[in-house]
Structure 1
Amino acid sequence: MTPCILACNVGSTSLKVAWFDQHTLTERGMARLDWLDANGPSWYTKLGGQAIHWPVGSEPVQNRIARTVRILAEGLDDIGVAIAGVGHRVVHGGPHFSGPVIITPEVRTELDSLSNWAPLHNPPALEGIDACSLAFPNARQVAVFDTAFHATLPEAARTYAIPWDWTHQHHLRRYGFHGLSHSWASMAVRAAVAEEHWDRLVVLHLGAGCSATAIRHGRSVFTTMGLTPLEGFPMASRCGDIDPGLVFTAGRLLGKTPDELEKALWKESGWQAVSGVSADLRQVLQAEAEGNPRAHLAVEMLVRHARRTVAALATELGGLGCLAFTGGIGENSPPIRQRIIEGLAHMGLKLHETANQQNLSPEPIPKPLVISAGHSSAPILVVGAREDWVIARDTAPLIG
């Protein structure tokens, strides 16, 4: 049997895993399960180019993760995959975790205490950790944090102008997120462009959640998400940057409780709220093309925010060496990329129109796609996100 590392990403509506050779980190396979699948939840994967699936069936919500991972373990065993270690994506590492860590009972307790820092993201990851501990009892479990890549943020970049004891005693500051994606993009771009360009990189991760990071010498020096993944861009259902005073005013005027306000800003805002159409940007773009003014407003808000962010992060870097798009929208929406770059012409950025319409290659780890014109002031690339590979890479040294 092939000893592999399993990279595990547990979300609210899906589970995504990939397994990599423990020693070479070559991808051996991947599988995905969607709880909202109209045909019923199943693990879908490929073996020798042939699609296969492992049905999960119905299960009460409180038990479904454990059952699902157990079925995955049985399926992997059937195809000759031995899991030597499991790396788990954990969104928030809080003030104490700035790198990957083996999950001991003490660490598991500390991770549980971080649920208040990311109540929508960390609890599903903990369910995945507990399920994998049972399904793969001989494998070491490792937590890999989305916040870790941003541990290099300078003090001036991570500190809020709030009461000092909030910062110093309670660690309320900017942490940043999508770190696995930004780390992968930095590595992929480094292999694709000259050092002088990679050295001052801005990465736009655009998906249902959006963030941007300024990367200098491979280190995060500023990022748009903050204490939580709510700050920054307007997103699918999250508000992004707003006046903090709006929260208190809305509470008074609308009679909303803190929990109701939190739910509204996380799940009932973003371009789905502005457009009145959908959290799926493809549907919003279609509505815009059909003349829907609110859909147009929602798209313009995203595009204008992206332009401002690229210009601001270029200033953080002392100039822009390279711009990379990644994430579901960044990788797959040529119109959004075009509209963002058109508003940055004053910076000398130019798209190659034909290249911008191309797709990334279908390889497991595709090479970045260069979409800039030859006379662009900096290269513009599209990078296929592979957070799972970063999880496996960070897990490997800890499992021996």
Structure 2
Amino acid sequence: MQILVINAGSSSMKYQLIETDDKTVLAKGLAERIGIAGSRVKHQFTKNGASIEKVVEQDLPNHNVAFEIITQLLTDKEDAVIASPEAITAVGHRIVHGGEKFSETQVITPEVKETIRALIPLAPLHNPANLIGVEAAEKFFPNAVQVAVFDTAFHQTLPEHAFRYAIPEKFYAEEKIRVYGFHGTSHKYVYNEAKKYLKNEKLKAITIHLGNGSSMTAIDENGHSIDTSLGFGPLCGLIMGTRSGDIDPSVIFHMLEQLNMPLEKIKNVLNKESGMLGLAGSSDARDVAARYNEGDPNAALTFEMYGYRIRKYIGAYMAALNGVDALIFTAGLGENSILTRRYACKNLEGLGIELDEELNVDNNHADTPVEIQTPSGKVKILIVPTNEEWQIAKEVAELVAKA
């Protein structure tokens, strides 16, 4: 089954064409700067065993034009990976917010689209772009089944005592203000990969997704998310590339009332000027690591704070799970940052968590699941590369097969 996976943003669109029978990525690419000067589509595919990249430098005024070019690239006479748009069985769409309505993958109907549209106030930057991607796909792949895979769906198993905030009930009952969590597709994928790797069907795990946006999830022995660090929006929890993570709300009141900062400025500071960028001057952990190795005290403090926040969540989630079998590191920093994993596991021997530093170094950039704990460590420490596109394709294929 050939499935096109779409991740549409406000000015970009990532895509992968996946053959689900053998997990092959037939083509992938990125349309970027949609609606902005300097737009282009980068398209990669394999031909005669060689990886080839094509770049189309062209004005992309909207997502429909981007989709038209992507379709042309996929069906190009010389380098076609599909004979025609009809070859694609289904299109899987990453939809950021499904609210409380969607706890599993859904075939996109007019009613589903209307619900996604109604949830725009909960994800004003993402759901509108996701819908644009859906409508463009409907136009260019009219015979394909359109399917929504929601970032929030995996976390719909959170118990009420974990997803409710201690504010007046009307804010939940009427406005649906609660913990939703994000990165659910990634957390679900790496948990299941770890379960297969460890041959443990009753795995209790803490998944640690560390990218420019980061989150952690406590997953019980039934594979259910029971707590997660991102909440109503993507700002709380861990320190991130440009986001502050957890902060005392009194700081916001102080900025507003004593420093006379407008709300929009405060929001910009916490979302776009904080995190690693605010502490070390760069949102890229590779830059911060280079400064760390040069002895920069701000870089050292950044990794200490970054790791300390992760360790606090590890402790909390071990309590929530009543013990844990495995820590699972994934995503950009989780898979590729020696320093991040080192500081995230620092001084946790009392909890049975012992990082083997040699394995931590040797297995950086792992492309398959790998263990990096010491022989005496009671808790498994794994690096598991994430693959959200494959998880989306898998869920789409399973849903289509049932239909």
TM-score between the two structures when normalised by the length of structure 1? 0.90
Counterpart of 2:89 in 1: which secondary structure?
strand
1:57 maps onto 2:61 in alignment: no
Amino acid across the alignment from 2:303 = V
Structural mapping, 1:22-37, within 5 Å: 24=21, 26-33=23-30, 35=32
Partner of 2:41: 42
Aligned equivalents of 2:289, 2:194: Cα separation in 1:
29
Aligned equivalents of 1:234, 1:6: Cα separation in 2:
33
| Greater Cα offset, 205-214 or 99-108 | 99-108
| Greater Cα offset, 186-195 or 260-269 | 260-269
Which of 196, 203, 209 is the aligned partner of 1:205? 209
Please list the CA deviations of residues 352-379 of structure 1 after superposition, one character each: whole Å capped at 9, or x if unmatched.
33321234788xxx43111112111111
1:295 maps onto 2:265 in alignment: no
Aligned equivalents of 2:102, 2:266: Cα separation in 1:
29
Aligned equivalents of 2:106, 2:333: Cα separation in 1:
31
Aligned equivalents of 2:107, 2:273: Cα separation in 1:
36
Partner of 1:318: 322
How many equivalent residue pairs? 390
Q: Which has the higher contact order (CA 8 A, sep 6+)?
A: 1
The answer on whether the counterparts of 1:352 and 1:371 sit within 8 Å (CA) in structure 2 is yes
Aligned equivalents of 2:381, 2:12: Cα separation in 1:
31
**Which 5+ residue runs of structure 2 have no aligned equivalent?**
none
Displacement of 1:222 = 0.8
Cα 1:56/1:133, change in 2 over 3 Å: farther
Displacement of 1:290 = 2.2
Please list the CA deviations of residues 163-218 of structure 1 after superposition, one character each: whole Å capped at 9, or x if unmatched.
1111122211111111000000111011111427x521111111101111110021
Aligned equivalents of 1:262, 1:30: Cα separation in 2:
38
Aligned equivalents of 1:188, 1:241: Cα separation in 2:
29
Partner of 1:352: 356
Counterpart of 2:258 in 1: which secondary structure?
helix
Aligned equivalents of 1:40, 1:114: Cα separation in 2:
29
Cα 1:58/1:248, change in 2 over 3 Å: farther
Partner of 1:85: 90
Counterpart of 1:175 in 2: which secondary structure?
coil
Cα 1:199/1:76, change in 2 over 3 Å: same
Displacement of 1:145 = 0.6
Aligned equivalents of 1:247, 1:380: Cα separation in 2:
36
Amino acid across the alignment from 1:292 = D
Query: Percent identity, aligned pairs only?
Result: 37
Partner of 2:386: 385
Aligned equivalents of 1:257, 1:95: Cα separation in 2:
32
Displacement of 1:12 = 5.4
1:155 maps onto 2:160 in alignment: yes
1:164 maps onto 2:169 in alignment: yes
**Which runs of structure 1 show a deviation greater than 4 angstroms over 4 or more consecutive aligned residues?**
359-362
Aligned equivalents of 2:340, 2:207: Cα separation in 1:
15
Displacement of 1:262 = 2.3
Displacement of 1:311 = 1.3
Which of 123, 129, 138 is the aligned partner of 1:133? 138
Displacement of 1:99 = 1.5
Please list the CA deviations of residues 76-126 of structure 1 after superposition, one character each: whole Å capped at 9, or x if unmatched.
223242211111111111121222112222322221222221123323222
The answer on whether the counterparts of 1:360 and 1:367 sit within 8 Å (CA) in structure 2 is no
The answer on whether the counterparts of 1:360 and 1:369 sit within 8 Å (CA) in structure 2 is no
Amino acid across the alignment from 1:59 = D
The answer on whether the counterparts of 1:361 and 1:367 sit within 8 Å (CA) in structure 2 is no
Aligned equivalents of 1:164, 1:323: Cα separation in 2:
35
Structural mapping, 1:204-283, within 5 Å: 204-217=208-221, 218-275=223-280, 277-283=281-287
The answer on whether the counterparts of 2:239 and 2:246 sit within 8 Å (CA) in structure 1 is yes
Amino acid across the alignment from 2:286 = R
The answer on whether the counterparts of 2:39 and 2:59 sit within 8 Å (CA) in structure 1 is no
Which of 66, 69, 73 is the aligned partner of 2:71? 73
Displacement of 1:298 = 2.1
Amino acid across the alignment from 1:47 = T
Partner of 2:125: 120
The answer on whether the counterparts of 1:8 and 1:88 sit within 8 Å (CA) in structure 2 is yes
Aligned equivalents of 2:145, 2:257: Cα separation in 1:
49
Cα 1:14/1:375, change in 2 over 3 Å: farther
Which of 83, 101, 104 is the aligned partner of 2:109? 104
Partner of 1:368: 369
Cα 1:298/1:335, change in 2 over 3 Å: closer
Aligned equivalents of 1:242, 1:224: Cα separation in 2:
13
The answer on whether the counterparts of 2:338 and 2:364 sit within 8 Å (CA) in structure 1 is no
Aligned equivalents of 2:297, 2:341: Cα separation in 1:
21
Counterpart of 1:202 in 2: which secondary structure?
strand
Counterpart of 2:345 in 1: which secondary structure?
helix
Counterpart of 1:324 in 2: which secondary structure?
strand
Displacement of 1:350 = 1.8
The answer on whether the counterparts of 2:189 and 2:391 sit within 8 Å (CA) in structure 1 is yes
Counterpart of 1:315 in 2: which secondary structure?
helix
Aligned equivalents of 1:124, 1:177: Cα separation in 2:
17
Which of 16, 28, 32 is the aligned partner of 2:14? 16
Cα 1:12/1:292, change in 2 over 3 Å: farther
